Amino acid sequence: MSKTNRLVSSSSTPGDYDSFIKAKEQKEQVLKSGYSSSKRAMEYFFVLLYFCVILPWNLYQSFAPLWFNHNSIHSNINSINSNINSINSNANPNSNPNSNANIHHSNIHTTPLNTLLLDILGGIVLGMITTDFVSGILHWIADTWGSLETPLIGQTFIRSFREHHVAPSAMCKHDFIETNGDNCLVATVLGIIPIIFFRHSMFMSFYFTAFALLGAFTNQIHKWSHQYQVPPIVKFLQSSGIILSRTSHNFHHKSPFDTYYCITTGWLNYPLHVMNFWRSSEKLVTWLTGYLPRSDDMKWTSHLKYLETTLKDHDGGEDEASHDQVDTIKKKN
């Protein structure tokens, strides 16, 4: 049995308060130690690649047609006006040379603008919805299946999800690179798609740009939902429902962490919960593979139900029982 498995197994049975605190701290340290220098280097690489290369390219590809279309329209208008004025002057020297030109300006300019706005807004909104759904799927997979011993993704990705359930507030101490490095890898792949396949589609350019950009910031948004103090603009976005709020995310951080997985906007959390989407998906996976959901996560988080109950007894309620459980209990003791 590995050191990790021995640690998890030895602390899975409820005990007194001090033993729970010790088990929690041991688990947190083991998970934290899994953050390697090679992973740090990978995160640096993809953060720089996405924000310095892919994102600027995406933004240029998305917004350049607006500028070129604007210039093209006015260039065509000027050319048409010049021809009309020349014809009118030859046919009737007393006619108003600008009367027909104004009509052509209206006809040429209005229709493309409406189409462009629909492409922009439609692409951005659909990109936000897609990002929220994908964040939920990836979050559900990492929380529900696999372990630290899973090849390739165990130490790289699953480890951070286990650490987050053991110590939810730990991510608030992570810097920008550690918080967003993994997501920037995915955002880089998403950002390359419109560059290669949708160079002439404004809708798809805005869709993938929004998808990738929000994807890159999803864990930052997630981090903000765990912080009591956030910048005013973030607080406004949270309170207006544009990005995930602390209140919404609290539903997820109650043992056994089996719902409200979407962590970008949070728009899809309630509909998917009502549809029983996650339980149905788990039953399907279990039927196909025989694997039980959250079997590994439960080993790491076995102490949290006790801590939530203890915090509820201290506070007289459980609205905030899922956040910073141990720190709060320590302060009150």
What is the per-residue DSSP string for 84-116? Answer: HHHHHHHH-TTS-TTHHHHHHHHHHHHHHHHHH
Indicate whether 235 belongs to any domain: no
| CA distances in angstroms from 36 to 16, 40, 167, 170, listed in the order given | 33, 6, 19, 17
Average pLDDT, the chain: 77
Return the higher-pLDDT residue of 232 and 314: 232
Q: What integer pLDDT is reported at residue 149 of this predicted model?
A: 80
Instruction: Specify the 3-state DSSP secondary structure of 272.
Output: helix
Indicate whether 249 belongs to any domain: no
End-to-end, the C-alpha distance of the chain in Å comes to 36
Indicate whether 274 belongs to any domain: no
Neighbour count for residue 303 (Cβ, 10 Å): 24
Indicate whether 52 belongs to any domain: yes
Indicate whether 48 belongs to any domain: yes
pTM: 0.72
Q: What integer pLDDT is reported at residue 320 of this predicted model?
A: 40
Cβ(295)–Cβ(309) below 8 Å? no
Indicate whether 46 belongs to any domain: yes
- pLDDT category at 200 given cuts 50, 70, 90 is confident
% of the chain with per-residue pLDDT over 70: 65
Q: What integer pLDDT is reported at residue 142 of this predicted model?
A: 86
CA–CA–CA angle 43, 146, 292 (5° rounding): 155
Residue 330 has pLDDT above 90, yes or no: no
Residue 282 has pLDDT above 70, yes or no: yes
Sorted by sequence, the CB contacts under 8 Å of residue 223 that are 6+ apart come out as 171, 172, 174, 179
Using the structure block, give the residue that is written with the tokens 């229709």: 111
**Residues spanned by the domain of 58:** 36-81+99-229
- Per the structure, the count of domains in the chain is 1
Half-sphere exposure of 110 (CA within 13 A, CB side): 6
- pLDDT category at 231 given cuts 50, 70, 90 is very high
Indicate whether 74 belongs to any domain: yes
Indicate whether 245 belongs to any domain: no
Neighbour count for residue 245 (Cβ, 10 Å): 19
Q: What integer pLDDT is reported at residue 104 of this predicted model?
A: 44
